[in-house]
Amino acid sequence: MSLTPVDIDRLAHLARLGLHPDERSRLCSQLNDFFGIVEKMRVVDTAGIVPLAHPMDLMDTMALRLRDDVASEPNQREANQRSAPAVESGLFLVPKVIE
């Protein structure tokens, strides 16, 4: 699939974009490059590959290299809340905005 400057003008009109001629040619080139990548991806045989609902679904079949979840800075809650106008039980109090 390849877009022409006429296609770009139509898309710009539908999106209510005002494009200068140099922007139009640059956008045409970028979109055509993108479609070229999509065409390359379509060549890959994906028959028999089940789509994932979430990348974490792979956790059962392979080990991901995740770093340990450790605190890297000390807890400074009191110091951070000193400048707050209202604090209660370690929580910031804010005015109600939704009835």
- What structural domains does the chain harbor? 5-43 (1.10.20)
H or E element: which one contains 8?
helix 5-14
Closest CA to 5 of 20, 24, 32: 24
Average pLDDT, the chain: 88
Identify residue 89 by its one-letter amino acid code.
Answer: S
**How do residues 46-92 score in pLDDT, each as one tens digit?**
899 888 887 777 666 666 677 888 889 999 999 999 999 999 999 99
C-alpha 70, offset from chain centre:
26
SS3 33: helix
- The pTM of this model reads 0.47
